[in-house]
Amino acid sequence: MGRALLAALLPVAVAALFAPPAAAAGAGLHYVALGDSYASGTGTRSYYPESGNCLRSPFAYPVLWAQAHPGTTFVFDACSGATTEDLVAGQLGHLSAGTDLVTVSIGGNDAGFGQVMTTCQVGGPAACDRAITVAQNYLSIQLPRRLDAAYGAIRDRASSADVVVLGYPQLFETGPCNNTIDAGHRSRLDAVADQLDAVTADRAAAAGFTFADTRSAFTEHRVCAPDEWINGPAWPVRESYHPDREGHARALLPVLQAVTDRVAS
């Protein structure tokens, strides 16, 4: 993390200035939140009407972080369903040399992880195995270059920003559970999340970005836990297998806060 974020966090500032989805005017830290549904807040069941299908939530961790840092000028450009190509094409317009902080969660949709979950939920063990294998191959072969392109585009536009790449949590506990996905396949899906995070961390480091690992923050609060912070199968289906309000407030937000606290201490 660099001096820009440290300088912006230290002054005592006025009330938080943030507006979905456009930037608010004001002095202080300029923060832009990018990414997919894990950044937009899909799973919290409450969304800004003007965000449409992007499903940006007032309970998403980027909004909570901005609210906790008065004086922040906040731009919320994350969008549910976004791939790395969507991010490059549609989410970078508010980045500039004056941007201090960027957060991003991206890559899961490139690997088709949502479809993998659907297949494993309703398609049976053999179909689940095939879908997982396809995703693993994609993560190994194709995702690294896609992340490189996305991270490079972020750096080109936000040359001085501190960029924090938040990883994805494992989704499941593997004990007894009323779920159509058996324990063995839940373990395999958690391993896919581990692989996704490993690739993401590697490419984030290569770009000079900070990787924030979210997995331990959800321990004992994943799907099939007594106190879940990630939705299991849900209605509407879009809410399924995404962090809920507790997941954003008690897991994702503290992970991001810990990164920024290290800079301001």
Write out 77-127 in H/E/C secondary structure: CCCCCCCHHHHHHHCCCCCCCCCCEEEEECCCCCCCHHHHHHHHHHCCHHH
**Active-site annotation holder among 30, 37, 51, 248:** 37
| H/E element, 40 | helix 37-40
Buried b (16+ CB within 10 A) or exposed e, 101-140: bbbbbbbbbbbbbbebbbbbbeeeeeebbebbeebbebbe
Count other Cβ atoms within 10 Å, centred on residue 18: 23
- Rounded to 5 degrees, φ, ψ at 74 are -115, 130
Catalytic residue among 30, 94, 221, 242: 242
102/246 Cα distance (integer angstroms) = 23
Contacts of 214 (CB under 8 A, 6+ apart): 166, 167, 168, 169, 251, 252, 255
The helix/strand/coil state of 261 is helix
How far apart, in whole angstroms, are the C-alpha atoms of residue 82 and residue 99?
22
Total Cβ atoms within 10 A of residue 3: 11
242 is catalytic: yes
Count of CB atoms situated within 10 Å of the CB of 165? 28
* Helix locations, 164-234, DSSP H: 183-207
Q: What amino acid positions are annotated as catalytic residues?
A: 37, 242
